[in-house]
């Protein structure tokens, strides 16, 4: 399984008073990785809601291994761990640009819900596109 890569440069607003990336920004970068992986498979987030469903996060895990700093370029590698009947799991690794030092690893689990927030089966066209990457 090939990971989808997105590069992100750390800007001043991403850092704390010590000049290190603030921990919550990694979760934001997970979302960027997930969004771009889905876009690469022809699934834009803007197209999901009009179809009558959403993919809310039900679990997030983030393990911080090494700090990142201002102006570093980070590589967000995203894969799909599984696609089930009504849920899916994305895994993430954030590395330095050269892929020599892993900074962060984690995952998110998402449920598929209808507009009323009830868990429903993932639409089959979405499942087909997502399973091409796992």
Name the pTM for this structure: 0.93
CATH code for the part of the protein at 4-131: 3.10.129.10
Label residue 78 by pLDDT band (50, 70, 90): very high
Catalytic (active site) residue 16: yes
Label residue 46 by pLDDT band (50, 70, 90): confident
- Per the model's pLDDT, the better-predicted residue between 62 and 47 turns out to be 62
Could you tell me the residue ranges of all domains in the chain?
4-131
Q: Could you tell me the CA-to-CA distances from 11 to 1, 16, 47, 54, 107 in Å, in that order?
A: 31, 11, 29, 30, 23
Active-site pick, 16, 47, 71, 81: 16
Cα separation, 63 vs 94, whole angstroms: 10
Task: Give the per-residue SS3 of the chain.
Answer: CCCEEEEEECCHHHECCCCEECCHHHHHHHHHHHHHHHHHCCCCHHHHHHHCEECCEEEEEEEECCCCECCCEEEEEEEEEEECCCEEEEEEEEEECCCCCEEEEEEEEEECEECCCCECCCCHHHHHHHHCCC
* Residue range 62-75: mean pLDDT, rounded: 98
- Return the bridge partners of 90, or none: 80, 108
């Amino acid at each position: 399984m090939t990971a989808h890569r997105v590069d992100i440069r750390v800007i001043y607003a991403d850092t704390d008073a010590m000049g290190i990336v603030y921990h919550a920004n990694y979760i934001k970068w997970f979302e960027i990785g997930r969004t771009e992986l889905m876009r690469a498979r022809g699934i834009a987030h803007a197209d999901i809601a009009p179809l009558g469903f959403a993919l809310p996060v039900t679990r997030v895990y983030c393990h911080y291994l090494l700090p990142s700093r201002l102006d570093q370029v980070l590589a967000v590698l995203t894969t799909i761990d599984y696609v089930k009947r009504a849920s899916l799991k994305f895994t993430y690794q954030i590395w330095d640009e050269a892929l020599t030092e892993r900074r962060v690893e984690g995952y998110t689990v998402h449920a598929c819900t209808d507009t009323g927030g009830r868990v429903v089966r993932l639409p089959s066209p979405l499942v087909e596109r997502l399973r091409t990457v796992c």
